[in-house]
Amino acid sequence: MNKIVYFFLLILCIVLIPLSGVGFLGTMITDKYQVDHAKTFVEIDSDRLTKTEKEAKLKDIEKLENTIQRQQIIIFALGLSACFGASYLLIKRKKLIKKTLHNTV
């Protein structure tokens, strides 16, 4: 493997680790404020809403919750794979960056 490619992959993995942590926290905050609070407000307004309006709003909130959960899984998997990738690149760096000697005599 070329040194430039090796260091590019290593830097990419190292940068992805904290970014995935921040992204995961962002989706957790979205889950709290857009899903949990929305469900609470639907329950508070349940006396003003008809049954079909309440079901429609809860269905929309459930779709958003499923989307956010998928994003959390993807971000967590990305961060985990970046951790394993960076560890692998650091452990096997001597094998990956082998300089081959060419005899030009």
pLDDT per residue as tens digits for the range 51-92: 899 999 999 999 999 999 999 999 999 999 999 999 999 998
Contact 14, 86 (CB under 8 A): yes
Q: Would the pLDDT of 19 be above 70?
A: yes
Provide the domain limits for residue 71: 3-93
Cα 73 from Cα 24, distance rounded (Å): 9
Q: Would the pLDDT of 43 be above 90?
A: no
pLDDT band at 3 (very low <50, low <70, confident <90, very high): confident
83 belongs to a structural domain:
yes
What is the number of domains present in the chain? 1
100 belongs to a structural domain:
no
**Any residues with CB less than 8 A from the CB of 35 and at least 6 apart, and which?**
61, 64, 65, 68
Q: Enter the pTM of the model.
A: 0.77
Q: Would the pLDDT of 105 be above 80?
A: no
